[in-house]
Amino acid sequence: MQCSISGDVPVEPVVNAKSGLLYEKRLIERFIDDTGKCPVTGETLTTDDLVPIKMGKIVKPRTVQTASIPGMLGMFQNEWDGLMLSNFALEQQLHTARQELSHALYQHDAACRVIARLKKERDEARALLSQSDRQIPMSAAAAGATNASAVANGKRAAEDDDLAPPGKKLRPGISADIITELTECNAALSQQRKRRQIPATLASIEDLGRYTQLSSHPLHKTNKPGVTSIDIQHSKDFIATGGVDSTAVIFDRSSGQIRSTLSGHSKKVTSVNFVADGGTFLTGSADKTVRIWQESEDGNYDCRHILKDHTAEVQAVTVHATNNYFVTASLDNTWCFYDLSSGSCLAQVAADTDSSNLVGYTAAAFHPDGLILGTGTSEAIVKIWDVKSQANVAKFEGHVGPVTAISFSENGYFLATAAHDSVKLWDLRKLKNFRTLNLYDGDAPTNSVVFDHSGSYLGVAGSDIRVFQVASVKADWNCIKTLPDLSGTGKATCVRFGPDAKYLAVGSMDRNLRIFGLPEEDVEPPQPEA
């Protein structure tokens, strides 16, 4: 029995009492609601004319598809396709799970290696500390009487403050008296700058254009070549170099002799700085320490203080204009303000303390007036700090790669910064970049940039050495001289101007200090006094 509308076996069969036709109940009721007639005879029909029929529970007959071999093959094909799709999804899930497991295993292995290396370094540091304590006995009374006792050969016994957990040391801060001293120094230097005149003894542009290599001095070891930093003490014409061989060398240019070799750091020396004329010398190193050296009566330099306030490589050391304080910058994302006489850290300033990505400082320099500090980061950002409040007052962006060097001009208005991509010049009055010097290709970063003491010339070191004439914001900064990197490494790492720009001191990734200046036949003899 089949429904007269659908042709299928009805689930709830009813019969039209007038015509005797069989229907599915839900279909005929819907048709009556719409038309009120029988779908076959067309006669008027109501639901009262429908008589339900009771049927026994029987198995439904197979459909036409399952009643033939082609229909069954189609059903089997559909089931096989569904099974293959399910199997493919399972394989994808298994592959993803294997990748996640492999990544987790690699991470676990790397973490175990890092932990093992840190444990080894900790044990070595403890052994060195224990050995230092045995070699340099120091009484408790003497340790309490002085903050940093001087020890022969540049070594110092470890102090209780050094053993404190990093980041938890209490710093006294920059006191009101120090701020007053810094402010008075700033006022005096600013007043002098207004009356500043370019000295008559300054090397001319024509002289700089004739500069050539005068001498080359092998100051560092051959097994670890590389000069990383240079500084010049103008009053004595001493040149200091820091090397990859973990030593700093004081060179007397007038005599052409090495005056002193300073050993003590365990890794490369990253920054060297003379302190005025007092015979004090500073070195920063990748071994996370800063050393303060003092010239002795015999001309050698003895280590007076070893500063261990940083937890990563010290990248820069810069001396304040008062010559009583200095700042160190490190890859641990902090810079420290020190008192030079005592070697004590007065303030340790950390930036972005809430950030999990500690980028670290790669360069630092004081403004000539002393109340502004410039720092460069490994994330290509230049930050300007107010020293009195230790607040970040300005931020310069635009470089690509870590900032390698910072230099303020003596006129107080210009800031030059170097990074992997270029040299950028900033106007501190408007806090804007007014010129970009794209000097080298992508494989040759700019390693050093420095103004001479008069603020008339700008030196740049990269794959070669270039000297620019300092101009105004709108005028062109012309390249006066280009000197090749004669080391053969293609990496001039640092450059400094001698007194009155009479010569250039250049360091490269070999072990030599090179002096560039006028050839002897071009040097004018001194004029006799009238």
Rounded CA-CA distance 132/126 in Å is 10
Instruction: Give percent of the chain with pLDDT exceeding 70.
Output: 87
First-to-last C-alpha distance (Å) of the chain: 141
**Distance in angstroms (rounded) separating the CA atoms of residues 314 and 326:** 13
Residue 241 has pLDDT above 50, yes or no: yes
What is the C-alpha to C-alpha distance for residues 186 and 23, in angstroms, rounded to an integer?
Answer: 106
**How confident is the model at residue 116, as a pLDDT?**
93
pLDDT at position 133 over 90:
no
Q: Which residues of 503-515 are buried (b: 16+ CB within 10 A; e: fewer)?
A: bbbbbbbbbbbbb
Which H helix or E strand runs over 415?
A: strand 414-419
Burial class (CB in 10 A: 0-12, 13-18, 19+), 213: middle
Close Cβ partners of 279 (under 8 Å, ≥ 6 residues apart): 294, 295
What does 161-218 look like in DSSP terms, one character per residue?
A: TTTSPTT--------HHHHHHHHHHHHHHHHHHHT----TTSPPHHHHHT-EEEEEEE
Q: List, in order, residues 6 or more apart from 147 with CB less than 8 Å away.
A: 159, 342, 343, 344
Indicate whether 266 pLDDT > 50.
yes
- For residue 286, the one-letter residue type is A
- d(C-alpha 504, C-alpha 213), whole Å: 9
Task: Spell out the alpha helix ranges (H) of 10-147.
Answer: 25-35, 69-135, 140-145
| Average pLDDT value for residue range 118-134 | 84
What's the pLDDT at 159?
Answer: 43
Across 506-519, average pLDDT = 90
Least Cα distance to 209 among 495, 494, 477, 466 occurs for 466
Residue holding tokens 């003590």? 264
pLDDT tens-digit readout, 294-340: 888 877 888 989 999 999 999 999 999 888 899 999 999 999 999 98
Structure confidence at residue 160 (pLDDT) = 42
| pLDDT above 60 for 2 | yes
